[in-house]
Amino acid sequence: MDFKIIVDICCDLTEELRKRFNISTAPLSIDVGNRHFVDDEDLDREGLLNAMRNSSEAPKTASPGPGPFLDLYRKYENIFVVTLSKELSATYQNAVLAKEMLMEEAENKFVKVFNSFSASAGETMIAYKLGELIEAGLTREEIVEKTEKYVEEMQTLFVLDSLDNLIKAGRMGKLKGKIASFFNIKPVLGATAEGTITLVDKARGSKRAVRKLIDKIGEKGENLEQKVLGIAHCNALEKAEFIKEQASEKYNFREIIIVETAGISTVYANEGGIVLAF
């Protein structure tokens, strides 16, 4: 049986992973001031970062409607979909709506939509898990069961080097944000079971925050020798490689992969941001 994996663009991928698992992507869009960006494979990420730096407004992101998902669904018979947390975006609801529309056209097709309860590297790791299960030749039902268990157990952690977008979006008060920036306080954040963002820890300076991030892997992770660690970075390859090196020494991950953030993940992480999922 042939299977297809479809993700939204917040799933950060290398070209190698995209080809290996035959993954297709539904795009999102980003508006920064008067500039509009379509978040697809041709996104000008440096232009996006520059626009965010020069804008006093928070970036506005828009999920694809059901249309782009439906167009992709019509091409395949057995489909697994991974989306951004439904607490952060309407993408999940639109992917489900597209499934309902498809079922009215062709009841014999199969579509399973997974809410990642995460973003960025979290979506990447779910897509990676799906790809490996498909490669292993499991049945449709086995793939769904094992992936749902994986999503339930997955941990997402991240460190933001810049608080600008949080302050602009009103998710952090201006005074609080200015104090944090003045004292060089970097938050270590994580995803809750509901798919929202929570403060896990904080540190003075990026290096200390990164070390706390690495320590949190051991505190939150179980059976790491069976897992893959995904590291997504926004213009922070050196930092990502340091985390990979330290995680390899401290923990026994089956594999560690590094990916660059795409547009939506870049908005969330901002320049220097790091997202881990395992």
Compute CA distances 212 → 56, 80, 207, 243, 268, whole Å: 31, 34, 9, 11, 20
What pLDDT is stored for residue 181 in this prediction?
A: 59
Identity at 196, one-letter amino acid code: T
Residues 36 and 161 in one domain: no
Residues 193 and 227 in one domain: yes
Residues 88 and 208 in one domain: no
pTM above 0.85, yes or no: yes
What pLDDT is stored for residue 112 in this prediction?
A: 98
- Taking 70 as the pLDDT cut, the residues of the chain under it are 163-183
What confidence tens digit (pLDDT) does each residue in 241-252 have?
999 999 999 999
Domain boundary among 124, 153, 182: 153
Domain boundary among 116, 135, 153: 153
The token duo for 112 is 């399973």
Residues 40 and 120 in one domain: yes
Number of domains in the chain: 2
What pLDDT is stored for residue 198 in this prediction?
A: 84
Residues 148 and 161 in one domain: no
Domain that includes residue 104, residue range: 4-153
What confidence tens digit (pLDDT) does each residue in 186-212 have?
888 888 889 888 888 989 888 999 999
